[in-house]
Amino acid sequence: MDIYNFDKRQIPIIDKYDVIVVGGGTAGSTAAIASAREGLKTLLIEKYGFLGGSSTASQVMPMMHVNIESNPASSIDKEIRKRLMNSGYGAKDPYGNDGWFNPEMMKFVLEEMFLEYGGIILYDTDFIDAIVDENTINGIIVNNRSGLNAIMGKIVIDCTGDANVAFSSGVPCFIGDEKTGKNQAISLRFMIGNIDLIRFQSFLKDIGQNWGLDYPLIETAMVWKSGFPLESIFKKGLENKEINYEDGAYFQAFSIPGMPGVMSFNCPEIPDINDSINAEKISYSYQKGREMIQRLYKFLKKYLSGFEESYILSVAPMIGIRESRRIRGKYVLSINDYNNRSKFDDAIAKTAYPVDIHGMRAEYEVIPLKNNEYFEIPFRCLVPLNIDGLLVAGRCISSTFIAQSSIRIQPTCRATGEAAGIAAAHCIKYNIKVSEIEGSDIRKIMRTYGYNI
């Protein structure tokens, strides 16, 4: 057996792959599917026992609309939506967003698609370190039930959300708002079951919520001092000391296709935690989040019609991180690209999703996108500086804090994942380095698969 010397220890090299994708979340599952679709021997490493990352483990749903007419999606994204829709676990709302999905079914669909292309998954496996030689990544060290092992790969794709592989390899990274160093607010999402959704919807109408959707797709929200009809009810809860002010800092809920009587809550936001790569603070956030969820649940059950017989169905196993480390790549997407509606020859994704920052006010000039205006993301944002053999996809691609707040939504992360998987295959097919890829070639391939980019 081959041996790799890691930190004064000799550990076995257990296998060799064309492509290793680290992190089987929103971008990672797509990257892995795209790589396996090209016929490459592809390994996907995931620390949980299922795929989907934020979309399943953090219960983040629905996917947002990219706010471009017809909601263009990359080819694998389209196939995921189609499979969910065909099985009754996806839905399209009247505003044309077909990104509503059932998180449990998402786990099945992602796994099934990757396995159909012959992909190999290692679940319950933690990425520990990168194997780097002469500024090129050649593999990774993982830890799982089999112990500490090395796995070699011709190309590694970092889809950990936190740029863990890039950071370990020595890629320069950004963190937080450039002015304050702070990260966006963190949320611990949860689900409530056995809600009488029809009664809840008429209750919302009775209190004056004249926006949103109709049963079975229901949504509601409340933010202090923003004029939401639910605010008077939250105020009552506050006066009666049943909730705290922090519990209503951001409140939002959506029903879920294929889960009658269930709503997913995009809250609570954990107060005063703006450091998403601090282990102690994240650990505290889970505890604080559960404390807030218990208060919120009791309050909703008491005050909202339709919640009388409800119960807490689940609290997300993975806390919701909106933004953390971002790589410094060949191109850094910035607010100028948003404001200028930038287009690129090597574009691999496009969006008109707004700047969406939680938990703080960022002081930057933002020129809101109007109808039919959008900007593009160049392939170069996926290519890190200093290290070859590595691609990065998902929310940690090369961008400034404020630009990231617009591109972090799931459809865009999926498009970056698909581009990375295709690019890995391109390197292997033409025997070129990641640093030598012409991004416009990747764009062309994405088009041939049916992405309108």
Ligand X SMILES: Cc1cc2nc3c(=O)[nH]c(=O)nc-3n(C[C@H](O)[C@H](O)[C@H](O)COP(=O)(O)OP(=O)(O)OC[C@H]3O[C@@H](n4cnc5c(N)ncnc54)[C@H](O)[C@@H]3O)c2cc1C
Give me the residues that bind ligand X (CB under 6 A), please: 22-28, 45-48, 53-55, 57-58, 60, 63-64, 126-127, 159-161, 164, 187, 189, 266, 320-322, 394-395, 408-410, 413
Token pair 């009247």 is found at 94
Residue whose CB is less far from ligand X, 124 or 309: 124
Q: Token pair for residue 79? A: 């196939």
CB of 43 to ligand X, least distance (A): 12
Residue whose CB is less far from ligand X, 167 or 364: 167
Residue whose CB is less far from ligand X, 43 or 204: 43
* Angle CA 405–387–154, to nearest 5: 105
CB of 219 to ligand X, least distance (A): 10
- Neighbouring C-alpha atoms within 13 Å toward the C-beta of 365: 4
Q: Token pair for residue 309? A: 């017989």
Residue whose CB is less far from ligand X, 47 or 203: 47
- Neighbouring C-alpha atoms within 13 Å toward the C-beta of 360: 22
CB of 249 to ligand X, least distance (A): 13
CB of 410 to ligand X, least distance (A): 4
Task: Report the C-alpha gap between 323 and 334 in whole angstroms.
Answer: 15
Comparing C-alpha atoms, which of 190, 185, 186, 188 is closest to residue 297?
Answer: 190
Task: Report the C-alpha gap between 327 and 140 in whole angstroms.
Answer: 18
Residue whose CB is less far from ligand X, 203 or 357: 357
Token pair 């933690």 is found at 126
Beta bridge partners of 101: 90
Q: Token pair for residue 295? A: 């208060």
Residue whose CB is less far from ligand X, 333 or 409: 409
Where do runs of H (alpha helix) occur along 98-196?
103-116, 164-169
Residue whose CB is less far from ligand X, 60 or 427: 60
Residue whose CB is less far from ligand X, 306 or 394: 394
CA distances from 242 to 233, 238, 409 (A): 11, 6, 33
CB of 287 to ligand X, least distance (A): 17
CB of 296 to ligand X, least distance (A): 15
Torsions phi, psi for 73 (to 5 deg): -135, 155
CB of 310 to ligand X, least distance (A): 21
Comparing C-alpha atoms, which of 299, 148, 154 is closest to residue 236?
Answer: 299
Task: Report the C-alpha gap between 29 and 216 in whole angstroms.
Answer: 28
Residue whose CB is less far from ligand X, 127 or 338: 127
CB of 175 to ligand X, least distance (A): 15
CB of 395 to ligand X, least distance (A): 4
Task: Report the C-alpha gap between 234 and 223 in whole angstroms.
Answer: 10
Coil, helix or strand for 333? strand
CB of 194 to ligand X, least distance (A): 23
Q: What is the DSSP letter of 269?
A: B
CA distances from 225 to 35, 245, 282 (A): 48, 12, 28
Residue whose CB is less far from ligand X, 393 or 445: 393
Q: How far apart are the first and last CA of the chain?
A: 46
| CB-based closest residue to ligand X | 25
